[in-house]
Structure 1
Amino acid sequence: MRIVSVRDAVVPIASAIANAYIDFSRMTASVVAVEVEAAGGRRVTGYGFNSNGRYAQPGLLRERFIPRLLETSGDALVHADGGLDPAGAWAAMMRNEKPGGHGDRSVAVGVLDMALWDAAAKLAGVPLWKLLADRYNGGRADEAAWVYAAGGYYYPGKDVAQLVEEMRRYLDLGYTTVKMKIGGAPGTPPKEALAEDLRRIEAVLGLLGGDGSRLAVDVNGRFGLHTALVCAAALQPFGLRWYEEPLDPLDYATHATLAEHYAPPLATGENLFSMQDARNLIRHGGLRPDRDVLQFDPALAYGLVEYLRTLDMLRLHGWSPRRCVPHGGHQFALNIAVGLGLGGNESYPEVFAPFGGFADATPVAEGRIRMPDLPGIGFEAKGDLYAVLRREFG
């Protein structure tokens, strides 16, 4: 088993949308193609990319992680079942890296990790979700994954009527649960933003027949404790599916204080990029394993090798994998959700193209999606994304 070649490129995911903290007008992503040769000379190419919200990492990839990956071969890449083992490649990529500092390097490693898992499943001739079920979940895979439609971004000139129409389109696509941004466009005073967002929330709830369990809201870490508590008091009567990332993602003690005052579900974790950071959240963030939602994104957090460690840590602390609903809205996390029995997956029906969204022939039905029986992650069955991969890598 050997790594034949690794190629990378930077592509734009620019969009005029914004959440409460950033706009995406200059956002980029790294894409990679990793060619692997198995014993007997069979070759496959695995693809990877980073999730939205973090920028491309060409420097880290080319200076550190790709060279280390290319130096790795033989037994280090072979799993006990005879297939490709991304864990061996992961260990090689992280050689000579100090503990801590889980920032942009976790994104660079995650991009390569995704491609290695794509290649591993292709070499095995099975979908990634099945490979994961067989290796790590006793052969058990979910028949379908629960997915929710994330959107409701701020956009120049977008009014409440347009927001409601956007959410209506998601329902027409087969989603039953939707998520919208709150906290105000960048530069909006919090008090004014809250009043406007309550009007936006009430309008969407009207579309949902008043069922708050079908609506989640996302602050993207903009609030301090006082504003988060004021907003929580206003939201509590709605009975929302969850109140997402109201606070800085690393401020665990303040999360714990908020959890003491807000009984409905909270959600966070998309901006934590290691098992150690996730463990600190579980130990100190006051989150409740019977209701709260963990959104660690394997594509941003050193990849699936690290995500498996995170799941082991969660079990030791009394958390079920069903409380995990990864951020990112991409096919990699969807395969992981199905194969490892997570609680579901995010979806971006209208934003972050071509990386968001799933295979073209996998419609959403009653809020759930069935996986295609395609070797690997299934990028080849997502026309717009595969067109980018072909353009960059031939």
Structure 2
Amino acid sequence: MSALASPTLSARRPAVSIVEIREKTVSVASPIRNAVVDFSQMTASIVAVVTDRVRDGKPIIGYGFSSNGRYAAGGLLRERFIPRILRADPAALVDEESGNLDPFAIWKVAMQNEKPGGHGERSVAVGVLDMAIWDAVAKIEDVPLYKLLADRYRGGAYDEKVFVYAAGGYYYPGKDIAGLKDEVRSYLDRGYTQVKMKIGGVPLAEDLPRIEAAIQVLGDASRVAVDANGRFDLRAALACADAIKPYGLAWYEEPCDPLDYQLHAIVTSAYGLPMATGENLFSHQDARNLIRYGGMRPDRDWVQFDCALSYGLVDYIRTLDVLDEHGWSSRRCIPHGGHQLSLAIAAGLGLGGNESYPDVFFPFNGFADETPVEDGYIALSDAPGVGLERKSNLYETLRSLGG
């Protein structure tokens, strides 16, 4: 999986150039909340990378967008990262033999003059651009991204379908236990077999009946995961662990601050059952520290790094290398975000599945219109690139960038 591995190269052809990069901030506001975040003012960045390669009379354009939970990174894109790419020698942005854009070379250019550490919001800005670059690269090759990744890194092998779980159970104004049950039933009706719900936004005594209601609808506690979104201190995290342990849930997610590895290790040891975390770690260096010091166990726990928030697929490949070095299988990765890029990565690089947001974060939630969820799995679109054009409401938003 190494980023330094030589990919399978196509025949030599004229080098591709980036003509223009467009960006825009869009709203993904919603009345929902988790334990720490109110999404009523949430925004996202969208990007279009316009190339000089033409197909069917139109320029090939790569699209990207930021994943949910972090705000738009327009200022960073406009002031630092887009200008660096556009100022660069075009020859420095392409693979010499294939002539196609080189995501690793472009990533290196974008990150010039950036100090190590402090990954914060810049990882989101680079992740948006990286998604658009990979989308363009695969479109230029005229193959779906998951096939391109499989060819480069897995000898052509890819998963024809990917496990997805429904992420929901947010706190809505006026939503009661009956409403939560109706929500969970709707996920079953749409083909999902596992659901993740939010906890930590109300006292534990109120959350436990909510968890039990979800278990009742799904019929098996192992089909329910809970997510505290980093809300708890040590005492609260351990109290929750003690209360939910008898259920035997699918996993207990992000009980404490994502960078407090020692606290996470203590909770993990005390709980014993599967844990999940990683969506708020934004680099392969942070991933390494989690694996070294966070008490995570490769035989039962799940890591949820979201490439769209963490410097893109280029750095996600480095993260997979870190996991491999520490004895972890890529099958223990189920990325956060519920977007098509993670789905393509899951199929192409052999991950354990992907999150899905059936009812929130429109229009960035969900997958291609023609690929319904069936028995907890979703098939892959055959569209070139990431396949964003096959999700009609999302594509309408992306087209607002022109093209």
Normalising by the smaller structure, the TM-score range is: over 0.9
Q: 1:58: how far off? A: 1.1
2:48 and 2:63 in contact (8 A); partners too: yes
Q: Does 1:33 align with 2:48?
A: yes
* Distance in 1 of aligned mates of 2:312 and 2:275: 24
Instruction: Look up the match of 2:8.
Output: none
**3-state DSSP class of the match of 2:40?**
coil
Match of 1:64 among 80, 84, 105: 80
Match of 1:207 among 217, 229, 241: 217
Q: Does 1:19 align with 2:34?
A: yes
Q: 1:71: how far off? A: 2.3
* Distance in 1 of aligned mates of 2:53 and 2:401: 24
Instruction: Look up the match of 1:136.
Output: 153
Instruction: Look up the match of 1:157.
Output: 174
* Distance in 2 of aligned mates of 1:36 and 1:238: 53
* Distance in 1 of aligned mates of 2:53 and 2:95: 9
Instruction: Look up the match of 1:76.
Output: 93
2:139 and 2:384 in contact (8 A); partners too: yes
Instruction: Look up the match of 2:23.
Output: 8
RMSD: 1.5
* Distance in 2 of aligned mates of 1:248 and 1:222: 7
Instruction: Look up the match of 2:391.
Output: 382
Match of 1:90 among 107, 119, 122: 107
Q: 1:152 to 1:79 in 2, by over 3 A?
A: farther
* Distance in 1 of aligned mates of 2:153 and 2:100: 14
**3-state DSSP class of the match of 2:48?**
strand
How does the TM-score come out when normalised to structure 1? 0.96
* Distance in 2 of aligned mates of 1:79 and 1:89: 13
Instruction: Look up the match of 2:13.
Output: none
Aligned structure 1 segments of 4 or more residues deviating by more than 6 angstroms: 39-42
Q: 1:274 to 1:239 in 2, by over 3 A?
A: same
* Distance in 2 of aligned mates of 1:197 and 1:314: 33
Q: 1:42: how far off? A: 8.7
2:22 and 2:48 in contact (8 A); partners too: yes
* Distance in 2 of aligned mates of 1:94 and 1:200: 45
Match of 2:268 among 253, 259, 265: 259
* Distance in 1 of aligned mates of 2:395 and 2:108: 29
Instruction: Look up the match of 1:353.
Output: 362
Report the number of matched residues. Answer: 386
Q: Does 1:121 align with 2:138?
A: yes
Q: Does 1:280 align with 2:295?
A: no
Structure 1, residues 258-277: CA drift from partner, whole Å, max 9, x if none?
11111110000000000001
* Distance in 1 of aligned mates of 2:396 and 2:54: 30
Residue identity opposite 2:285 in structure 1: Q
* Distance in 1 of aligned mates of 2:187 and 2:304: 21
* Distance in 1 of aligned mates of 2:19 and 2:254: 41
Instruction: Look up the match of 1:101.
Output: 118
Q: 1:195: how far off? A: 0.8
* Distance in 1 of aligned mates of 2:393 and 2:268: 41
Structure 2 unmatched ranges of 5 or more: 1-15
Instruction: Look up the match of 1:235.
Output: 244
**3-state DSSP class of the match of 1:357?**
coil
Q: 1:348 to 1:30 in 2, by over 3 A?
A: same
Q: 1:78: how far off? A: 1.6
How does the TM-score come out when normalised to structure 2? 0.94
* Distance in 2 of aligned mates of 1:372 and 1:390: 20
**3-state DSSP class of the match of 2:39?**
coil
**3-state DSSP class of the match of 1:25?**
helix
Matched-pair identity in %: 64
Q: 1:393: how far off? A: 2.3
Q: 1:236 to 1:140 in 2, by over 3 A?
A: same
* Distance in 2 of aligned mates of 1:71 and 1:213: 52
Structure 1 unmatched ranges of 5 or more: none
Q: 1:326: how far off? A: 0.3
Q: Does 1:216 align with 2:225?
A: yes
Q: 1:37: how far off? A: 2.7
Q: 1:82: how far off? A: 4.3
Q: 1:88 to 1:182 in 2, by over 3 A?
A: same
Match of 1:52 among 47, 68, 78: 68
Instruction: Look up the match of 1:171.
Output: 188
**3-state DSSP class of the match of 1:300?**
coil
Structure 1, residues 104-151: CA drift from partner, whole Å, max 9, x if none?
000000000000000000000000000010111111101110000000
* Distance in 2 of aligned mates of 1:38 and 1:161: 53
Q: 1:39: how far off? A: 10
* Distance in 2 of aligned mates of 1:337 and 1:221: 25
Instruction: Look up the match of 2:3.
Output: none
Match of 2:333 among 305, 312, 324: 324
Q: 1:38: how far off? A: 4.8
Instruction: Look up the match of 1:197.
Output: 207
**3-state DSSP class of the match of 2:117?**
coil
Q: 1:83: how far off? A: 3.0
